[in-house]
Amino acid sequence: MACLTPFFFIFFLSLSLFLSPAFSTNSEGNALHALRSRLSDPTNVLQSWDPTLVNPCTWFHVTCDSNNHVIRLDLGNSNVSGTLGPELGQLKYLQYLELYRNDIGGQIPEELGNLENLVSMDMYDNKFEGRIPKSFAKLKSLRFLRLNNNKLTGSIPRELTTLTGLKVFDVSSNDLCGTIPVDGPFSSFPMESFDNNRLNGPELKGLVPYDFGC
């Protein structure tokens, strides 16, 4: 019996050779797999992201709804680094994008504005740089947006004042400039949310451009 064991492995191997690499036709799985290829993952938190499965619903840190659409991506505090790419914008059903406390850098992709079901975007404590995408104004379901403790520059897009559902907005400890919006939900955010930037206080409409000082 023991002599059969190596044969067994060869057999299984050939089996998987013939059968396995069916890349998921699922675009959400592809998008996540593309994300994986951009990230460096020293602690193997993405190890379970097997692109040969029909959908990513059993991958760790990924949650689907009953139609097998990805609704959560939970990679907070996961020791990953690298950058994000435009493919994340394909996760149309995503509600929670949790990437906080990692080492992710680069620009925040404009395409994240396509995540129209997004409720919460937590990217605090990373190394994101560049501007806050104006496209975030399209995130009509967004209630939580935490971008604090990054290296974001530029001004706070005025377009975000249209996000009437926004309950929490935190951009503290970045390198933002210009003035702080006062319209819409911004009327209720505490000042700590804007601390440690190069922001010039509340916007005084008409007097000076909102990106004054940038």
Partner 1 sequence: MRETFHAMLVLVAVLFFGAAEFCSGRNTSFSCIEGERESLLKFKLCFNDLSNMLSSWKGNDCCEWRGVGCDKNSGHVVSLQLRGSIYDQPQLYLIDDVEEVVSNLLKLRYLEHLDLSGNDVNSSLIPPSFGLMKQLRYLNLSSMNFKGRIPSELGNLTRLRVLDLVDYYGGALKVDDDIQWISHLSAVQKLGMSGVNLSHASSNLFQVFGMLSSLSWLSLSDCGLKNSHLTSHSHLLNLTFLENIQHLDISRNSFHGSIPIFLQNMTSLTFLDMSGVNLSLAPSNLFQVLGMLPSLSWLSLSDCSLKNSHLPSHSNPLNFTFLENIQHFDISHNSFHGPVPIFLQNMTSLTVLSLLYNQLSGSIPDSIKQLSKLESIDLSGNQLNGSIPDSIGQLSKLESMYLSGNQLSGSIPYSMGQLSKLESMDLSHNQLSGSIPDSIGQLSKLESMDLSLNKLSGSIPGSIGQLSKLESIYLYSNHLNGSIPDSISQLSKLESIYLFDNQLSGSILNSIGQLSKLGIIDLSHNQLSGSIPDSIGQLSELGSIYLNGNQLSGSIPDSIGQLSELRSIYLYDNQLNGSIPDSIGQLSKLEVIHLCCNQLSGSIPNSIGQLSNLRYLRFSSNKLNGVLPNSINKLSNLKALLVSHNSLEGVISEAHFANLFKLIVLDIGSNNLNCEMKYNWRPPLDLAYIYMGSCKFGTGFPEWLSLLKTISLIDLSNASISGPLPESIGYMLPKLQGLFLTDNLLNGSIPKSLCNSKYLLFLDLSKNMFFGSIPNCWKNDQSFNFIDLSSNNLSGLFPNTMWQFSSLYVLHLSNNSLHGELHVELKNLTSLMILDLGENKFSGNLASIVGGEIDNHGLKVLRLRGNLVSGYIPLELCSFSQLRILDLAENNLTGRIPHCFTNFSTMVNATSMDTVNNAIYSDQTYLMEVVKGRYLEYKRKTLALQISIDLSSNNLIGPIPEEVIFLKYLHSLNLSYNHLSGKIPEKIGQMENLESLDFSQNGLSGMIPNSMSSLTKLSHLNLSYNNLSGPIPTGYQLQTLEDPFIYIGNPQLCGAPLLKNCSNDALPPTTTNFKDNDDDALKRMWFYIIVMSGFAIGFWGVVGTLILVKSWRYAYFQWVDDVKHWILVVITLKVARFKKMFNGNLDD
144 binds partner 1 (CB under 8 A): yes
Q: Assess contact for 189 and 160: CB atoms under 8 A.
A: no
Spell out the alpha helix ranges (H) of 113-195. Answer: none
The amino acid present at 13, given as its one-letter code, is L
Rounded distance between C-alpha atoms, residue 160 and residue 61, angstroms? 29
206 binds partner 1 (CB under 8 A): yes
Residue 32's alpha-carbon distances to 23, 88, 192, 205, in angstroms, are 12, 7, 34, 42
Rounded distance between C-alpha atoms, residue 206 and residue 184, angstroms? 17
Instruction: Show contacts with partner 1 in window 43-102 (CB under 8 A).
Output: 47-50, 52-53, 57-61, 63-64, 66, 72, 74, 76-78, 96, 98, 100-101
Rounded distance between C-alpha atoms, residue 108 and residue 66, angstroms? 29
Per CB under 8 A, which region of 110-118, 131-139, 158-166, 200-208 contacts partner 1?
200-208
Per CB under 8 A, which region of 85-93, 107-115, 119-127, 133-141 contacts partner 1?
119-127
Q: Which two tokens stand for residue 82?
A: 């690298």
Q: Which of 29, 124, 135, 171 binds partner 1 (CB under 8 A)?
A: 124
Binding site for partner 1 (CB under 8 A): 1, 4-5, 8-9, 11-13, 15-16, 18-23, 47-50, 52-53, 57-61, 63-64, 66, 72, 74, 76-78, 96, 98, 100-101, 120, 122, 124, 144, 148, 167-168, 170, 179, 182, 187-193, 199-202, 204-208, 212-213
